[in-house]
């Protein structure tokens, strides 16, 4: 399971970096989205891959390894919401820049 997750993170990060380096603004936006997905998976993986862990600590004997860690899940949820808002903002800026310059190249010059 860890190998599959690490491979998925690597593929998403590599694809995101490749697309960020492309000359078209839409490809840059998709690349930033892929990079944010890779970072979200990485943060979630750092919180341990725990299956069937109880989400709430009960009274009595407390063994922290028996419970799921809510902090990485909360961080990823917040990052997803912020990433969605930033993608929407980038798309609006992309449409405005394309309307003003007539090109969707990053530097505004069609080669």
What is the reported pLDDT for 56? 65
Q: Provide the 8-state DSSP code for 21.
A: T
With a pLDDT cut of 70, the percent of the chain lying above it is: 81
- Which CATH number fits the domain 2-50+69-101, given the four candidates 1.10.3720, 1.10.287, 1.10.1040, 1.10.1060? 1.10.287
Residue 82 scores a pLDDT above 90: yes
Q: Where do the structural domains in the chain lie, given as residue ranges?
A: 2-50+69-101
Give the phi and the psi of residue 20 in degrees, each rounded to 5: -65, -30
Residue 66 scores a pLDDT above 70: no
Residue 11 scores a pLDDT above 80: yes
Q: Vertex 11, ends 35 and 93: CA angle to 5°? A: 30
- This prediction's pTM: 0.78
Other CB atoms within 10 A of residue 43 CB: 15
Q: Which of 26, 2, 3, 28 is nearest to 15 (CA)?
A: 28
């Amino acid at each position: 399971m860890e190998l599959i997750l690490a491979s998925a993170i690597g593929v998403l990060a590599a694809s995101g970096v490749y697309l960020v380096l492309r000359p078209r603004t839409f490809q840059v936006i998709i690349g930033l989205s892929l990079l944010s997905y890779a970072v979200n998976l990485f943060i979630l993986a750092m919180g341990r891959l725990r299956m069937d862990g109880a989400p709430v600590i009960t009274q009595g004997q407390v063994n922290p390894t028996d419970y799921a860690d809510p902090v990485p899940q909360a961080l990823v949820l917040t990052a997803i919401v912020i990433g969605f808002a930033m993608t929407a903002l980038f798309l609006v800026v992309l449409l405005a820049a394309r309307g003003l310059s007539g090109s969707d190249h990053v530097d505004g010059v069609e080669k």
